[in-house]
Amino acid sequence: MYAAFSTSLQSACLSRQVGAALFDDEGNLLAVGKNDVPKAGGGLYSSDDFDNDHRCVHKSGKCYNDTNKLKIKERIKNVLSNEVSAVLGISAGQTVADINLARLLNSLDKIAEGIYKDSKISSVMEYSRSIHAEMDVITSMARKQNGDTKDKILYTTTYPCHNCARHIVAAGIKKVVYIEPFDKSLALDLHNDAITKNEESSKVIFCDFEGVSPRRYNKFSDQQMNAKMMKQELRTNLMYATKSYRCSIS
């Protein structure tokens, strides 16, 4: 899981940073992936591309998925406005004050916001320029001469979305281990015929990670390092104190 987590730190996605790592049954690391923008020729953009780095943080500084979802919300508002105007017979030359509908029309933005949230439009993911970490792992294996994803185990820092889930199933991956939940995912709802939480099933298993969180590794390592440094400092001070004592006696 630390391999997946450390890879997520390389992601420059403005929405979220996710990492994934693929292993075989012997524990050999086969491929890693992160969510970021794909580039021509294969792979994803990175800081190694310098001036040719076309990730969103450099291209516009905005999340294209969020931008397009807000455009949908604005379209909803415009449709509501046009429909209300048509039903009530509001002509182009008339003003809101003339028909005394200011309260209704001023509420259209609030109505559109409610539709936007309650209809799950805000959960739409396909307008992003980035591919997801799980997809990056699968496509990375596809670029290898002997790449094979069948019966492999995928570790990911976040529960796969339903789009990644169907690719995971199709790739033949037998097990997915994740840390963080992802409420927007409909993986089990859409693919309960192929995905399960049951360890005994012949379906693709999606299960929680059990063990030391990757975020704790560095902290534990730092604590151990600090303890070693304190012991070393104590030994050094004791050595100098002993030498000083011997010199004072002689």
pLDDT tens, residue order, the chain (250 aa): 999 999 999 988 777 899 999 999 999 999 999 999 888 888 787 767 667 776 666 677 677 667 777 888 888 887 777 777 666 666 555 555 555 566 666 677 777 777 777 777 767 777 778 899 999 999 999 999 889 999 999 999 999 999 999 999 999 999 999 999 998 899 999 999 999 998 888 899 999 999 888 888 767 666 655 666 666 766 666 665 555 545 555 5
213 occurs within a structural domain: no
148 occurs within a structural domain: yes
Q: Are residues 78 and 9 in the same domain?
A: no
Q: Are residues 116 and 175 in the same domain?
A: no
Q: Where are the beta strands (DSSP E) in 102-158?
A: 153-158
Q: Are residues 51 and 133 in the same domain?
A: yes
Structural domain boundaries enclosing 232: 219-250
164 occurs within a structural domain: yes
What is the reported pTM? 0.69
214 occurs within a structural domain: no
Q: Are residues 50 and 138 in the same domain?
A: yes
Q: How far apart are CA 35 and CA 133, in angstroms?
A: 4
Domain count, the chain: 3
Q: Are residues 138 and 200 in the same domain?
A: yes
142 occurs within a structural domain: yes
Give burial (CB, 10 Å; 0-12/13-18/19+) of 102.
exposed
What secondary structure does DSSP assign to 178-241, as a single string? EEE--TT--HHHH-TTTEES-TT-SSEEEEE--S--HHHHHHHHHHHHHHHHHHHHHHHHHHHH
Q: Are residues 135 and 191 in the same domain?
A: yes
The token pair that represents 92 in the structure block: 């182009």
Q: Are residues 36 and 105 in the same domain?
A: no
Secondary structure (3-state) at 124: coil
